Amino acid sequence: MSESEGITPEFIESVREDLISNRPVRKRVPGGGMIHIDRQLPFLCVYRKPSNYVDIGTKQLVYSEASYIAMESNEDISELVEAVCVTLKDIFGAFLVLEVWALPYSEFTQEVQRTGRPAFKIFSEQPSELLSTIESLSNRLKQISIHRLKAVVEVIKTTKVAPEGEEPIVGEDLRRRRDIHLVGVALFPLYHDEKGETLYPIKLRKLRRSFARALKYAFFRFASDFTSSCPTHFAMLGRRLVTRAVWESDKALAEIDDAFDFLLQVTPVNTEEAWLDFKKEKFKGTPYFLYRPRPFDIIDVKRRLYEIPIGKIEDPILMDLFEQKREELDRKLTMLADRDTENFLFESITTYGKVEKTLLQTAKEMLDMLSHKRHENVEADAQKDAVEAETFARYAKREIEYYKKIYPQLSSRVYVREDIVAGAMVSGGDFLISKSAHFPKDRIEALLHHEIGTHILTYINGLAQPFNQLHTGLSGYDEMQEGIAVLSEYLCGGISKARLRVLAARVVAVALLCEGRSFCEVFSVLSDRYDFGEKSAFTITTRVFRGGGLTKDAIYLRGLVGVLEYLHGDGPLEPLFMGKIAAEHIPLVEELQWRGILKPPPLWPRYLEESSAKVRLKEIRDEKLGILDLIEKGYI
């Protein structure tokens, strides 16, 4: 069928047959346009290209919905829309058509035109049975804010719900006979210029997500009040069908993310030699660090990064998540290009942030409360009965085997290596252990829960999801990950005063780094002011100065503080273990779960099954305990 044939009865019948069988409908509409209905739903969004003025961008607003027809021409689609309405009304008992169109600038006040404030006009029939639906839509549209400007909303009762110059998309007689309802939303097109010729894509993306959310609340209210579908959450009416652009973008982002290990690339390979030289020079000067060669062309990787078709993704949540990830990968690639230069620190601050005053104050209070003088031999006790790397590796292999019995697809392995500066770390789902490291026996359980029960577990849970981003990590996931990991140490009763001193010291060291202090000065503050041993002070300072100045180490304490605050609000635990996500992604992950896109995680941390961990978790929730409270009350 060619587009020039127009919308034929055969085309309409094919759509009807798919809807009756509850098969997804995604077809090019003859004449220019798209119909997308990913399952039987009691509503349809419609966009018709206006015939009396130029309009760009508006059709993308309906792309966000699970059921829409968007036309790029003036083809008459009334018969197609009516067929959809009648077919689905017979299934649900009632049906809603919501048409979206943009109005010319001249239809809005000078204040709206001058400031670019979001503005909407809701058109409904007079009298209207949809009072609750209209009220829900109006209230949600009023919550939309662009550049801190709240939306203005006007509800207009009319006898004709349609753009100017057009007839209603569904005839009045059919609406009356078949319990089909029609609502119109006309908006101020802040995403293009007054002539409708120049698109402002950033403004359009900002509007799309909040506008889509408002529409879903209206559809939810309609479905609850008038149909047999009875959804229990507004997000259940969101998109489930994932388009090709999503799979292509997800795969391409994951391939680039997997192409380089950022932390390994910024971790020195000669830390032991640097320590010996620094000690020989009586702890003066700045150690000379060597790094791994970069086995990839950064310019080529960036080129591939921006060839990814993220802009073609219709789902606004997935588009935002993928855009954020692309920006983060871009920043990290720039950091690797500027490794061991002054620019590295500025880019690190952009990626991981500086140390906030409140966080620095918390860190300093922790160090004072856990003063080495008050708790003598803290660090010595931490090294008591330490085991070597090979012995620790055997414990780690047993822990991985525990999870593998629950989820046989788990393929993580344990490696003992000479080129690891940290005692242990997770990379690509594998557990890497420094050959020269020693691990206190009383910390083994906590370390296993930190590395395997958090980092590997969320990696594997992410692999079980349809999107690669859940295991490679959504943008900014590190902070939440480390917060959960440190919390796991506390919940299993394995966090020590020495461990907390190190986390606090990292924050102080990052703050000093950002102030412009030298390696030697930071080392001296840690060793002289806070009584860290020379090797411990060197290790902390090295981590902070690696690559040219890495502010990432502040996220451990910041993440722990954030997770504790999340628990104070009775936040559910499951989203935290869906994969590698940031705190800001929790509501998005929950929405994707409601939409049936994300699955329940196959693995659950072993320590959360233990009664002692449940008691500690309840204490945190009930008593709203922060990190200073835990120390002060002697829980640590």
Residue range 226-242: average pLDDT? 92
Q: Taking residues 114-122, what's their average pLDDT?
A: 95
Query: Quick one: pLDDT at residue 378?
Result: 46
Give Cβ neighbours of residue 123 (< 8 Å, ≥ 6 apart). 156, 158, 161, 183, 184, 185, 186
pLDDT at residue 175 tops 90: no
145-146 and 119-125 beta bridge pairing: unpaired
- In this predicted structure, the answer to whether residue 83 has a pLDDT above a threshold of 80 is yes
pLDDT band at 379 (very low <50, low <70, confident <90, very high): very low
> Which range, of 47-56, 182-191, 477-486, 592-601, averages the lowest pLDDT?
47-56
pLDDT, mean of residues 469-478: 94
Contacts by 401-410 with C-beta closer than 8 Å and gap 24+? 402/606, 403/452, 403/456, 403/457, 403/460, 403/603, 403/606, 406/602, 406/603, 407/460, 407/464, 407/602, 407/603, 409/460, 409/463, 409/464, 409/602, 410/460, 410/603
Query: What's the chain's Rg over C-alpha atoms?
Result: 29
Note the pLDDT tens digit of each residue in 133-170.
999 999 999 999 998 999 999 999 998 999 988 999 99
Residue 97 contacts residue 170 (beta carbons within 8 Å): yes
For 86, the 3-state DSSP assignment is helix
22 pLDDT more than 60: yes
CA 123 from centroid of its chain's CA atoms: 35
Domain layout of the chain by residue ranges: 3-238, 261-295+338-632
Q: How far apart are CA 553 and CA 578, in angstroms?
A: 24
Where residue 376 falls among pLDDT bands split at 50, 70, 90? very low
What percent of the chain has a predicted confidence (pLDDT) above 70? 97
pLDDT at 31: 86
3-238 fold: Aminopeptidase (3.40.630)
Classify each residue of 187-198 as buried b or exposed e, where b means 16 or more C-beta atoms within 10 Å of its C-beta: bbbbbbeeebee
Output the pTM of the full model.
Answer: 0.88
Question: Maximum distance among all alpha carbons in the chain?
Answer: 93
Closest listed residue to residue 367, CA positions, set 498, 536, 537, 544: 498
Give the pLDDT confidence score for residue 173 in this predicted structure: 87
Question: What percentage of the chain exceeds 90 in pLDDT?
Answer: 81
Residue 421 is predicted with a pLDDT of 63
Does 480 score more than 90 pLDDT?
Answer: yes
Q: Indicate whether 479 pLDDT > 60.
A: yes
Mean pLDDT (whole number) for 103-125: 94
Which whole-number Å values give the CA distances from 160 to 168, 579, 608, in the listed order?
A: 7, 49, 59
SS3 content of the chain, % helix, strand, coil (to 5): 55, 10, 35
- Distance between CA 257 and CA 387 in Å, rounded? 34
User: What is the rounded average pLDDT for all residues in the chain?
Assistant: 92
Q: What is the pLDDT of residue 372?
A: 61
What is the token pair recorded at 530? 């806070």
Residue 635 confidence (pLDDT): 67
Q: Say what the pLDDT of residue 373 is.
A: 52
Residue 277 has pLDDT above 70, yes or no: yes
Over the stretch 398-449, which tens digit does the pLDDT of each residue have? Answer: 999 999 999 999 999 999 987 776 688 888 899 999 888 889 888 899 999 9
Q: Give the pLDDT of residue 566.
A: 94
Chain-centre distance of CA 22, in angstroms?
Answer: 31
pLDDT of residue 125: 87
Characterize the bridge pairing of strands 43-47 and 95-102: parallel
Look at residue 385 and tell me whether its pLDDT is greater than 90: no
Give the pLDDT mean for 70-92: 94
